Amino acid sequence: MTDTVPRLRSDSSHQRLALAAALLGFFVVTLDALVVSVALPSISRDLGGGITGLQWVVDSYTLMFATLLLASGALADRVGADRAFAAGIALFVAASVACGLAPTLEVLILGRFIQGAGAAILMPASLALVRHAYVDPRHRARAIAIWAMGGAVASAAGPLAGGLATLASWRLIFVINVPVGVLALLLLMRVLGSPRRKVPFDLAGQVAAIVAMAALTYGLIEGGAAGFAAPQVVAALALAVAAILAFLVTESRAADPMVSLDRLRSRSVAIPAAVGFAFMVGFYGVVFLLSLYFQQDRGLTPLETGLAFLPMSVLVAVLNPPAARLAERIGAWAPVTSGLLLMAAGLSGLLLATPAAPTWVLAVLLIPVGLGGPLAMPAATAHILDSVPAHLAGPASGVLNTSRQLGGAIAIAAFGALLSHSPSFVDGLHTSLILGALVLVAAAIATLKLWTPAAPVRDSIDVIDHGHRTTVPAPDLQLEVA
């Protein structure tokens, strides 16, 4: 195996194949987080379920994605990025077929859970493929930028692709994953093996994380349907609190924790994670809310709904690369703060629009969301990776990506509960938009703490012992923790 890794890294054709496979994997994972939103009313008409059922269709995917994402990086290290990628995309494609053929809402939700598990395995493995294929830092940076464009294009294409596919049948939004997944596997077969190494697995932390997130999501979703005083809802929320406490205790005592609590105390990690959470509340949440509003209250077709999101979506895809370069030139936090405030302004504009406002007006009011997201997220991602030693870049990015998925899952659960408990859909929509804007503003205020540059974190430090200077790797606690 050691002979194959240098060949992979020095052969440009293998580099391109690895990058192409990784990009396709990242594309379908991101696409499926959004494409289903536009199809929700059609799914409800065919399979029933109401708001609660539709929340589970969305959140079952995001829930498994979020809770398994931190530990799946260790799996890619243990078995090799190529094997983990193959397993993840095979599971994702098989689950997509099951979703496309689902005869009942329960089967569809189960398929979405499995899809989320496949996505969690696939996501870090796809990035690891790129990291292993490109040794030169400059070439690797360009390759990662191309890989990231797969997610940006998927985010932009999601609503419109969902609208187009649903014209024929909502089942097509899952079937389109099959050829993309098969192509990625065929490309992967021509990529030489990835290195493997033994890494610890935090089983107790993973179980506690799954229980906490599942119980919290169940409590919020079922609270919207049965009321938050219902015994099963109270029990679920109590279980969520207990599991969160168990997770914190486990991670504080584990020799090799899934999430270092010291890392979370660092504002250079915690604040970008909060930015990722708020971004998903604003972006993912508004797509969920307006997809239902456009079709259920305004009578738009799925295609018309996808077109209403098009101005926002195009900006997301087009602005990501220049936004990243802007952050390099002027620093991270001006773009992050302004981006979050732009998104909050977009949600506030939607709130102020009257129910009689033309759909094109609402599409224009979504433009600040499309402007703000690309300003905030690339800069926040770059900051979190630049603020930790190189050997902690993977875990730190795992924290960021997990916080993003948690933001999406909790937004769907909370917004759906507000829709269910409001006198009308528009009242629930307005309350949800207010909540989303407040979350974005709170995250923007938190970013102000990072406008003052923190002391740089180095990959190594000098230790002087009895007059002798020795350079050693920087310990984990070198993270800036003010």
Confidence check: pLDDT of 477 > 60: no
The pLDDT of residue 143: 77
Q: Are 206 and 259 in contact (CB under 8 A)?
A: no
Residue 452, judged by CB atoms within 10 A of its CB (0-12, 13-18, 19+), counts as exposed
Task: Please report which confidence band the pLDDT of residue 392 belongs to, taking 50, 70 and 90 as the band edges.
Answer: low
pLDDT category at 424 given cuts 50, 70, 90 is confident
> Which numeric CATH code is attached to 1-195?
1.20.1250.20
Q: Which residue bears the tokens 């049965």?
A: 226
pLDDT for the residue 364? 92
Lowest mean pLDDT among 187-191, 207-211, 295-299, 398-402: 398-402
Using the predicted structure, report yes or no on whether residue 8 has a pLDDT greater than 90. Answer: no
Q: Is the pLDDT of residue 144 over 60?
A: yes
In this predicted structure, which of 3-12, 50-59, 214-223, 236-245 has the lowest mean pLDDT? 3-12
Higher pLDDT pick, 381 / 478: 381
Q: What's the pLDDT at 353?
A: 82
Indicate the average pLDDT of the chain: 79
250-295 confidence digits (pLDDT tens): 877 777 776 666 666 677 778 888 898 999 999 888 888 998 899 9
Residues 251, 463: Cα–Cα separation, whole Å: 29
pTM: 0.79
Task: Report the pLDDT value the prediction gives residue 263, as an integer from 0 to 100.
Answer: 64
Task: Give the pLDDT mean for 27-31.
Answer: 86
Q: Cα(236)–Cα(40) distance, rounded to whole angstroms?
A: 26
Instruction: Write down the CATH superfamily of domain 264-457.
Output: MFS general substrate transporter like domains (1.20.1250.20)
Percentage above 70 pLDDT, the chain: 81
- In the predicted structure, residue 333 carries a pLDDT above the cut 70: yes
Q: Helices 81-100 & 105-133, crossing angle to 10 degrees? A: 160
pLDDT digits (tens, 9 = 90+) for 152-180: 788 778 888 888 888 889 999 999 899 99
For the record, the structure tokens of 419 come out as 């829709």
Q: Which of 129, 115, 94, 96 is nearest to 22 (CA)?
A: 129
Q: Which of 89-93, 218-222, 306-310 shows the lowest per-residue confidence on average (mean pLDDT)?
A: 218-222
State the pLDDT confidence band at 93, using cuts at 50, 70 and 90. Answer: very high
The tokens for 169 are 């049948």
**Other Cβ atoms closer than 10 A to 456:** 9
Q: Which of 425, 296, 411, 315 is nearest to 363 (CA)?
A: 315
Q: Which two tokens stand for residue 110?
A: 């189960």
* CB distance 343 to 397 below 8 Å: no
Sign of the four-CA dihedral 27, 32, 33, 39: positive
Report which of 208, 194, 34, 49 is spatially closest to residue 126, judged by C-alpha positions.
194
Query: By CB neighbour count within 10 A (0-12 exposed, 13-18 middle, 19+ buried), where does 287 fall?
Result: buried
pLDDT interval class at 385 (50, 70, 90): low
Helices (H), 189-301: 203-226, 231-253, 261-265, 267-292
Q: How confident is the model at residue 10 (pLDDT cuts 50, 70, 90)?
A: very low
Give the mean pLDDT of 138-144: 72
Per-residue pLDDT reduced to its tens digit, 228-250:
788 888 998 999 899 889 888 88
What mean pLDDT is predicted for residues 5-16? Answer: 57
Buried b (16+ CB within 10 A) or exposed e, 80-114: bbbbbbbbbbbbbbbbbebbbebeebeebbbbbbb
Alpha-carbon gap, residue 449 to 25, rounded angstroms: 36
Nearest to 60 by CA among 110, 125, 4, 135: 110
Token pair belonging to 251: 């991670």
What was the pLDDT predicted at 440? 95
Contact 55, 413 (CB under 8 A): yes
| pLDDT value, residue 390 | 55
Q: Is 259 exposed, middle or buried (0-12, 13-18, 19+ CB in 10 A)?
A: buried
For residue 299, count CB atoms less than 10 angstroms from its CB and return exposed for 0-12, middle for 13-18, buried for 19 or more.
exposed
Residues 24/146, Cβ–Cβ less than 8 Å? no
Strand segments (E) across 1-138: none
User: In a 3-state reduction of DSSP, which class is residue 128?
Assistant: helix
Amino acid 160: pLDDT: 84
pLDDT (0 to 100) of residue 194: 63
Give Cβ neighbours of residue 286 (< 8 Å, ≥ 6 apart). Answer: 346, 347, 350, 366, 369, 433, 436
Residues 389-428, buried b or exposed e (16+ Cβ, 10 A)?
Answer: beebebbbbbbbbbbbbbbbbbbbbbbbbbbbebeebeeb
Close Cβ partners of 331 (under 8 Å, ≥ 6 residues apart): none
Residue 468 has pLDDT above 70, yes or no: no
Angstrom distance (rounded) from CA 427 to CA 189: 52
- Residue 171: the pLDDT is 93
188: which 2 tokens? 């992967």
Q: How confident is the model at residue 95 (pLDDT cuts 50, 70, 90)?
A: very high
pLDDT at 7: 41
CB 458 within 8 A of CB 387: no
Name the residue type at position 86: A
Can you list the alpha helix ranges (DSSP code H) found in 134-201? 137-168, 172-175, 177-188
pLDDT at 479: 31
